Amino acid sequence: MFTDRERLEAQKIRVIKDCLNETPIDIEGLKRCSVEEFGFVNKVLRKRIWPLLLNIDTNNIINHSEKIINHKDTDQVTKDVERSMWRFTKGNSQLRNRKKPELTRIVNAVLSIHPQLYYFQGYHEIASVLLLISDESLAFAMLERLSIYHFNDCMLPNFAEVLKVLNLIFPLISMVDQHVYNFIIKSQVQPMFAISWILTWFSHNLDELDTAARVYDYLLSAHPMASIYLSVCVITSQRETLLNLECSFDSIHAFFTSNLPELDFDKIIKQTDSLLEKITPSKLQSSSKVYLLPESQLNRYPYDWMIFNNNNTTTNSKSSKLITNNKGTNQKRQQIYKFIFFILFGSISLFGTFVFLSIKSPNTFKHINSFLSPLLFNLFNNRFNQNNITNGETVSNFNQ
């Protein structure tokens, strides 16, 4: 009756709901789910989970419309929104027309509240994914959070930091696939073909909203530099096609800048997560000699608003600093504590039981006493033997 895929999805949904039903919610479990097949599966779950990953206090989101002023990029935002959301709303002009004003508002609101952020083209693509998956209010709160942290380096006065990020891609490829790396270097292609991947988390390059959302499941859960690792795995996953191309700048650049083919992102995301675990962002920077600014938000992960357990703290609260880096240590300590607890509890229980029974049940005590009788008998026999030896000596003395 159900297809294999539907059964697997249902099973995944159960795992996700188990994490959500934990008290407090199991954020780490959810992040692990983002790596596994199907990610967060559907729009309803994503609308619930994405704000949790960014620790959005959904009961205290400001009214963003009130904050909108005429900022430095208002005109450009208007133009970009006007020609946006064609791919994700194709065939549904009503949805597109309804969402465009919402998209304009949330983008302008973030840029109005945070004048230090510089708009870049592609920013509205991030916002449109958040908006189409959740609602206007949630999308604003999530976009604001991402803009200040994950995408902060893309929103500086110039693209110098973005260039550094791009320049990390080829060194990382050399650690993954030497053939692909040699081919790419020989062609003299520049890593700028990947800039829209980094700037929009691939949403500009994917045709289906579901696929873009699947990618966002992972990138919202992972290190903010995960998009670099994902880019590398996207490149190496197409190695067969790539190595058959003419080895030239324009053919390789054109190959990667056209819309991505249908890729198995579940598989690629698993590869990405393994790679990220194996080669940390700091290790990547030191080995490739490409260093982001020390104050870069990409170097400050995990952020102070991230918590291991969601205690419903407000957005600005820093009272809970149980950051994810301590999770391993906490787990070990918990295990040790559990072990000690079981030993002590067991001992105390046994002792208590013994004392209780010996007081309340004299019969049981007798039973124990009878158990000890054979031992007493053996002791008695030993003493008898000693007496015999004494008697022997007396007889010898008489004969003498």
Partner 1 sequence: MEKKKNLEQDCIFRIVIIGYDYECGIKSLLKKFTLGEFSPFPESQVGVDFDIKTINVDNQDIKLQIWPQNKYFNDTSDKRDFLYKGAHGYLLVYGCHSQKSFDNLLNDWMVQIDKFSNEFSKRNLVLVCNNSETPETYMTKPNYLVDSNITKQWANSKNIPFFEINPKENFNVDEPFIQLARLIKNQNFINSTK
Nearest to 300 by CA among 81, 187, 152, 182: 152
Of 10-18, 122-130, 142-150, 216-224, which segment contacts partner 1 by CB under 8 A?
122-130
Residue with tokens 């027309």: 97
Our finding on whether 259 is near partner 1 (CB under 8 A) is no
* 274-296 core/surface letters (b: 16 or more CB in 10 A; e: else): ebbeebebeebbeebebebeeeb
Judged by CB under 8 A, the residue of 65, 112, 121, 324 near partner 1 is 121
Omega prior to 115 cis, within 30 of 0? no
Nearer to partner 1, 118 or 303 (CB): 118
3-state secondary structure at position 100 = helix
Residues between 196 and 215 that touch partner 1 (CB under 8 A): 196, 199-200, 204
Query: Contact 60/314 with Cβ under 8 angstroms?
Result: yes
| Rounded Cα–Cα distance for residues 380 and 271 (Å) | 76
Our finding on whether 250 is near partner 1 (CB under 8 A) is yes
Nearest to 86 by CA among 97, 74, 77, 78: 97
Residue with tokens 């104050």: 295
Omega prior to 362 cis, within 30 of 0? no
Our finding on whether 64 is near partner 1 (CB under 8 A) is no
Q: State in angstroms the smallest separation of the CB of 191 from partner 1.
A: 10
Q: State in angstroms the smallest separation of the CB of 96 from partner 1.
A: 11
Residues between 347 and 386 that touch partner 1 (CB under 8 A): none
Nearer to partner 1, 207 or 304 (CB): 207
Omega prior to 101 cis, within 30 of 0? no
Of 77-85, 102-110, 129-137, 141-149, which segment contacts partner 1 by CB under 8 A?
77-85
Our finding on whether 249 is near partner 1 (CB under 8 A) is yes
Our finding on whether 344 is near partner 1 (CB under 8 A) is no
Residues between 172 and 191 that touch partner 1 (CB under 8 A): 188, 190
Our finding on whether 26 is near partner 1 (CB under 8 A) is no
* Site residues, partner 1 (CB under 8 A): 76, 78-80, 82-84, 86-87, 120-122, 124-125, 157-160, 162-163, 188, 190, 192-193, 195-196, 199-200, 204, 248-250, 253-254, 257
